[in-house]
Structure 1
Amino acid sequence: MSDNHTHVQEFFGARAAGWDSKFPDDGPAYASAVADLGLRSGDRVLDAGCGTGRALPPLRAAVGPSGVVVGVDLTPAMLEAAVQAGRDHDGHLLLADVAALPLRTESLDAVFGAGLISHLHRPAENLRELARVVRPGGTLALFHPIGRAALAARQGRQITPDDLRAEDNLRPMLAGSGWRMTSYVDEDARFLALAVREG
């Protein structure tokens, strides 16, 4: 396991137990972002870096009982918190790295990633791996319940020009990884970039 993996596991492992109580009001924002993903009944969707599984209930509601919902996370404590919250009923939980997904090529219709981009070790490569498991025409949502400026303020830092989530950085990175960005919203109350898997 790389140093980055260890760092990510330590960071989120230490915070897993109190994660949901720290951000109790994010539910509607998750549901709204999932709605924008345009899922249909029977679709197969991955929650990449699912954490405590907050997106799993709205994803399950969107794809219905015939759909498939998979949540992947690198941190055991996060998945344990998801199980304790009962969210394993909404999706299959897998302990895995988004850099090497245990999923078949083109087996999914969509990927949802909340707060994912800033924790990717090799973003372009990792986005390419997400593209691998999605069929052509499938969709990707990169989401955060608050925008870049609000998040930076919360963390006591400034946004820098090299921020991966800046539109001018994210659009070409997605394009080079098999995705075409279709919309980009960065407001105080939400960050949401949507993309389509190129054929």
Structure 2
Amino acid sequence: MRGHAAVRAFFGARAATWDTKFPDDTPAYEAGVAQLDLRAGESAVDVGCGTGRALPALRAAVGPDGTVIGTDLTPQMLRTAAEAGRNVCALLVEADAARLPLASATQDALFAAGLVHHLADPAAGLREFARVTRAGGRLALFHPIGRAALAARRGHSLSPDDIRAEPHLRPLLAANGWELTSYEDTAARYLAIAVRTTD
């Protein structure tokens, strides 16, 4: 499921009930955002924000003088985010994660939940994330449960070529402007933190 039409169809059909299907994920999102070590006044983007569950935590972290943007490819997800009031804490923008409508080297941090394996070209996506992030800026690749737990939920086993696995992810990040600084893949969560390297 990597083409834009397929992604929009899949998530668009689920947008209205997404939060009620996963009602207990908010603390995990808050804890994931906390690992970005955001400071007041900084700028943060939730790429593939879906219904915007990370946006309140991002806003709390950067404060009223900071900037928070949520981007998603699926308009229904953004509509659900707005209906939940999350447009109050962030600017919501319909955008392709591989072509972000942001100037280069302008963002302090990017948060991406359950996104990287949905990208048609993950390497190109990570390069785009690097393009919009300042040197030394942070990237969090997140999911509220780990890969094994997610695979079990879907009734299948882990794929040996999963790009989210640390041996695959580390060199993929390194080749596209990032240094992996921490990696966690447990039942409780998946969280990979990377820092934007200097070109």
With normalisation by structure 1, the TM-score equals 0.98
Distance in 2, matches of 1:121 and 1:193, equals: 20
Distance in 2, matches of 1:77 and 1:118, equals: 21
**Corresponding position: 1:82 with 2:81:** yes
Query: What secondary structure, in the 3-state scheme, does the structure 1 residue paired with 2:19 have?
Result: helix
Query: What secondary structure, in the 3-state scheme, does the structure 1 residue paired with 2:44 have?
Result: strand
Query: What secondary structure, in the 3-state scheme, does the structure 1 residue paired with 2:139 have?
Result: strand
Alignment of 1:147-186 (within 5 A): 147-186=146-185
Size of the aligned set, in residue pairs, is: 197
% identical aligned pairs: 61
Letter aligned with residue 140 of structure 2? A
Structure 2 residue aligned with 1:54: 53
Alignment of 1:15-164 (within 5 A): 15-164=14-163
Quote the RMSD (CA, aligned, Å).
0.7
Distance in 2, matches of 1:35 and 1:138, equals: 14
With normalisation by structure 2, the TM-score equals 0.98
Letter aligned with residue 101 of structure 2? P
Report the Cα offset of residue 118 of structure 1. Answer: 1.6
Distance in 2, matches of 1:148 and 1:96, equals: 26
Query: What secondary structure, in the 3-state scheme, does the structure 2 residue paired with 1:17 have?
Result: helix
Letter aligned with residue 61 of structure 1? A
Structure 1, unpaired ranges of 5+: none
Distance in 2, matches of 1:107 and 1:93, equals: 17
Query: What secondary structure, in the 3-state scheme, does the structure 1 residue paired with 2:16 have?
Result: coil
Distance in 1, matches of 2:20 and 2:189, equals: 19
Report the Cα offset of residue 160 of structure 1. Answer: 1.4
Distance in 2, matches of 1:58 and 1:160, equals: 32
Distance in 2, matches of 1:160 and 1:108, equals: 33
Distance in 2, matches of 1:87 and 1:147, equals: 26
